[in-house]
Amino acid sequence: MRLEKNFTAWFRLLRLPNLLTAPGDPVAGYLFATTAAGGSFDDTNPFLFPVLCIPSIFLYAAGTVHNDICDVEEDRVKRPERPIPSGQIGFATAGVVTVVLFTAGIAVVACISAWKNTGFVPSLAALALATCIFLYNSRLKKNRFAGPVSMGMCRGLNFLLGASFVQAVTAGLVATAAGILLYVAAVTFLADEEDTGGVSMAGKFLPAGALLFWCSGILVDYRLASMMNQPTSWLAIICYMLAFLSAVVVAIRLKQDSEKMEIAGCVSILIRNIILLQASICFFVSGAAILASGLLFFWLVHVILSKYFSPT
């Protein structure tokens, strides 16, 4: 029973459902950049895709643990049931785990770079991502503007981490990364309103608006746009429309005086949409439907796990 409680505490600390949203970012980024550069899924070693997921999960997990370390004093007052203030996980233990995860994430990227002979750019991308995560948790998240933007930058950099192994910069790639940044910034802005006790009109509709910008990345990049006649392109469109329509439903559902639990539930839906966006990119790429299907499985597991572990 004690071992089970310990595992549960770590799952809560790591926000287990949200870990499933991390690996699809570099996979989608790699596929986007490969296609934009004129390559194809069939030319890629399939072993690369699960390997790309590892540093993303490590860095995301490091960020969630570090987040609770930085919030420990506030959590002692507002959220004493959290794993660190409740004593279920020691403060020093959480600190060691954070350092190990950050180091492991960057080290794995360096190893992949050596294997693929892609130079130092991916390692710089991993360092930039780790730095952005650290700054968000320790300095920026309390700022009403800088907090959401820096969180969005973390997601955008995670997407670009995968693209950095291809090193093909296109307008579509930049636009899609910017769309991810804006969407996650909008979701973070809305999540912050969970603590302020009210939902603004801007906060409600920002995620849906950001998704309109996100699709511009696909349209701007002519190679990906030309793939809309692929057999699986209709699945890509369905994934995107599900994400967009759910964001619209959330905006309609939320009221200015919505309860914290209702806001948290809506934020969980919006976070889950990130997986749908990742799957949408994969469905657009010829031959990558198996990766997209795996991401949709992650989406389903996220739905189930969110009933037991809060994503926010």
Q: Where are the domains of the chain?
A: 2-305
274-278: average pLDDT: 97
CATH of 2-305, one of 3.30.1150, 1.25.40, 1.10.600, 3.40.1350: 1.10.600
* CA distance linking residue 98 with residue 92, whole number of Å: 10
134 contacts 105 by C-beta, under 8 angstroms = no
Percent of the chain's residues with pLDDT above 70: 92
Per residue in 165-197, pLDDT (tens digit) is 998 888 888 989 999 999 999 999 998 876 665
Choose between 76 and 224: higher pLDDT. Answer: 76
Q: What is the mean pLDDT of residues 213-229?
A: 67
Please give the Cα distance from 78 to 76 (Å, whole number): 6
pTM of the model: 0.95
155 vs 205: CA distance, rounded Å: 20
What confidence score (pLDDT) does residue 229 get?
Answer: 62
pLDDT tens, 45-98? 889 999 999 999 999 999 999 999 999 999 999 999 999 999 999 999 999 999
- pLDDT for res 3: 43
Summarize pLDDT for 103-149 with one digit per residue, the tens: 999 999 999 999 999 999 999 999 999 999 999 999 999 998 999 99
The yes-or-no verdict on residue 1 having pLDDT over 50 is no
**Binning pLDDT at 50, 70 and 90, where does residue 257 land?**
low
The proportion of the chain whose per-residue pLDDT surpasses 90, expressed as a percent, equals 71
